[in-house]
Amino acid sequence: MQATLYHNPRCGKSRQTLALLRAHGIEPIIIDYLKTPPDVQTLADILHKLGLEPRGLMRKKQAEYTALQLDDPHLTQQALLDAMVACPILIERPIVLVGDKAALGRPPEAVLPLLEAVG
């Protein structure tokens, strides 16, 4: 099984999710999304796989969320996607992708149903 992990090595939940994947015999492709953020189309695809709207994948307690006034209900989905691409610290992590499915590793065990579904 090939998996991709959008990872922040400084994040405990992200490190725990990576360890969980490895404990299940999966060595994922690791994307440090702060250094290599997804483009708008990739982010839209991830959101579709997660079944989320953009704000559902945003770190709302992040200072940038407030500074950029991303809680404005008049902002379009495109504007929110653009903000996440421009400021990837806003993207919740970790995200695991396997095929056409995805899971957010918060908590890390939340990825287990994904592994069972595709494994």
| Maximum pairwise Cα distance, the chain | 44
Is 11 an active-site residue? yes
Kindly name the residue from 4, 11, 52, 85 that is annotated as catalytic: 11
d(CA 115, CA 17): 12
Q: Identify residue 17 by its one-letter amino acid code.
A: T
Catalytic (active-site) positions: 11
